[in-house]
């Protein structure tokens, strides 16, 4: 989605991070999200102070949006440092599971602590509105996930190799083999994967 940075046009918008008003003429970050009230599948923005977005789960998105901003950014050095401290691996990525609370989006079985798991970004509707976060699956189930299958095996392998910054070379080699093996579970377009399970347990990973 096309996240954005712009000068606040008024002082009415509330920061979704700190919940304070974003003053007029202050730079703000807009997270583009699906509009729940649009029947045509439109989008809307959730607004943040740059610093609030950077120190939350949107550091990568702020980093990328800044590349398209040509104006001045107050306290840029401090902002860049904040972004660097909160960057996460770009989606899709793989990692060793930090605990055993997440369930696989494909087979609905628990992913054991220490196992290699693949993460794709998901946008889900909650009581607090639309939330973004990772959806996990066993590395051996990867191509059974709709987004993975639509990306294509070769493009997926390339992305995982580049994005899996927390895996060593041996783990990346095993990941590549697991993704190849998951071709036997390839999503075929019949139904939606993970509709009957695969949700992450509360408190899985920050």
Domain map (residue ranges) of the chain: 4-86, 93-185
pTM of the complete model: 0.65
Domain 93-185 has CATH 3.30.1740.10: yes
Nearest Cα to 197, choosing from 121, 139, 111, 129? 111
Mean pLDDT over each residue of the chain, to the nearest integer? 89
> How confident is the model at residue 171, as a pLDDT?
98
- Chunked in runs of 10, what are the mean pLDDT values of the chain (206 residues)? 90 95 97 79 90 92 95 96 91 96 97 98 73 90 97 97 95 98 91 46 40
Q: Are the C-beta atoms of residues 35 and 11 closer than 8 Å to each other?
A: no
CATH number of 4-86: 3.30.1740.10
> How confident is the model at residue 202, as a pLDDT?
38
Spacing of C-alpha 146 from chain mean position: 16
User: What are the structure tokens assigned to 124, written together?
Assistant: 């889900």
Same fold, 4-86 and 93-185: yes
Alpha helices in 55-185 (DSSP H): 59-67, 76-86, 146-151, 153-163, 169-181
**Cα separation, 158 vs 143, whole angstroms:** 14
Q: How far is CA 202 from CA 47, 113, 126, 128, 139, in A?
A: 26, 16, 13, 15, 21
> How confident is the model at residue 85, as a pLDDT?
92
* pLDDT 10s digits, 110-169: 999 999 999 999 877 766 566 778 999 999 999 999 999 999 999 999 999 999 999 999
């Amino acid at each position: 989605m096309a996240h954005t940075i712009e000068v606040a046009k008024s002082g009415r918008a509330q920061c979704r991070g700190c919940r304070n008003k974003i003053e007029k003429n202050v730079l703000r970050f807009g997270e583009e999200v699906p509009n729940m009230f649009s029947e045509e599948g439109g989008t809307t923005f959730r607004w943040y102070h740059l610093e609030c977005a950077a120190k939350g789960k949107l550091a990568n998105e702020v980093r990328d949006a800044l590349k398209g901003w040509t104006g001045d950014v107050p306290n840029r050095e401090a902002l860049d440092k904040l972004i660097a401290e909160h960057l996460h691996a770009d989606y899709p990525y793989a990692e060793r599971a930090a605990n055993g609370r997440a369930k696989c989006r494909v087979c609905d079985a628990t992913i054991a602590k220490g196992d290699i798991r693949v993460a794709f970004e998901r946008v889900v509707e909650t009581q607090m509105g639309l939330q973004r976060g990772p959806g996990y699956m066993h590395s051996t189930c990867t191509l059974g996930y709709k987004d993975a299958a639509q990306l294509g095996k070769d493009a997926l392998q390339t992305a995982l190799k580049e994005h899996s910054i927390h895996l060593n070379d041996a783990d990346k080699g095993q990941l590549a083999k697991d993704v190849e093996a998951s071709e036997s579970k390839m999503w075929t377009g019949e139904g939606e994967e993970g509709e009957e399970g695969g949700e992450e347990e509360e408190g899985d990973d920050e």
